[in-house]
Chain A
Amino acid sequence: MTSLTLSHFLFTSAVLFVIGVIGFVTRRNMIVMFLCTELMFQGAAIAMVSVGRYHLDVSGQVFVIFILTIAAAEAALALALVVLLFRRRETLNAEAWSELGEP
């Protein structure tokens, strides 16, 4: 039986991060786009804790607590903005916003 090493965890975190980036670029639903940025945050968080365990250092775990705090703050903000969008346009499609842009 092979044991788990640091590279497995870093690979998982990289996969999460890349799925997040791809989702952010390809999807147009604002809530899904926001979830994709959350996915990227969690990818970074997994990298932090696994590296912290590898170096036997607690700062990785401390960092993750702060990442979760910031992610919660961003979630509140994102939901506020999405509600704002929905009230104005009755849709969650990011492309419904087209007031700004090159003339």
Chain B
Amino acid sequence: MINLETPKKLRGFIKQANQVADNFLRANSRKYDLAEHEYPKELDLLASLIDGMGDSGQGQGAGAAGVRRSEDELEKDKIKNGTNMSSVLSVIEMCWGDVGLLLSMPRQGLGNSAIASVATDEQLERFKGTWAAMAITEPSFGSDSAAITTTAVKDGDAYVLNGEKIFVTSGDRADSVVVWATLDKSLGRAAIKSFVVPKSLPGIRVERLEHKLGIRASDTAVIVLDNCRVPAENLLGSPEIDTKQGFAGAMATFDNTRPLVAGMAVGCARAALEDTRELLEKAGVEIDYDRPAQTQSAAAATFLQLEADWEASLLLTLEAAWLADNRKPNSMEASMAKAKAGRVGNDITLRCVELASTLGYGETELLEKWSRDSKILDIFEGTQQIQQLIVARRLLELSSSQLK
């Protein structure tokens, strides 16, 4: 039965997440925006709290690892609001607090999502408790993940990794990095595998940290792998090179992480909308949902448009998560959500600055910060253009050689 309200069983949990976001993240937003690269120590306590909630079952499987698609729990004919839904809803709340700080949450890295998505049960157990960053991008490529030049060469019971990775979120603070590398460049996409590389191993080092437009609370690292020997059992998924399956295995991670990034944009944009609405109301602008927008002030009409776009991106995000929870293919919907939420998240936050004039532009409010933070959400985990490409190829049933 069609119902798009927040699932009843998750409402209490979401309220909790909102309080956490308000007290731990929002409260420290400006502090770590100004103090780039300083470790947000408040998060250690929070991370323990979240681990505790997770272990006691109260966390509803939320967090980066909540995207795992387990086989056993789906009851026949029963619609499920599971861990994908709760993860995405908690990410929305946390990013309403602060995107940069959410990305810095110990043990909640994108690498953790990757492990949860593709690890075997044995690996999942072995990597439990690790804080895993994700390393895909290299200096020579961004969107074209198949162009990976980092190599992994089998040597006895280990793989030897060599290469340079950039834009590694939490690369400095995490204790391991999920590294994408190729076993054999000549075999193309199928030879690309991901490895969990503990930072304690010799041969992996953080080269430097980036200074950024936004999400400054989150460290973005350049990581160098120099003859780094990684135990063979740290390869995620199958070590076989299956040219038929191609890239699908590695790319499956994205079906799970893209709705999360869409959720980040939704949360960040909601923060801006709520703040702006309050400021507008103080300035005497009322938003009337029953009167046509064009009979209201330009500010109210703009706000209505932004709110409409926001609602669409929220529901696209929930749809992608709902599909995943119910074991339905969601590649296209995940990309739709990411495309819509990425672009409107950026548009909303920028327009909110505009609506609030110099008050919005200054650092006394957080509006200007959100408008900087939101930009990355239309870029990482697949840019706007990559999402459109994925949607278009699926819709039009075209291959990557037809629609380049």
Q: Is this pair of chains taken from one and the same complex? A: no
Q: Which residues of B contact A (CB under 8 A)?
A: none
Q: Which residues of A contact B (CB under 8 A)?
A: none
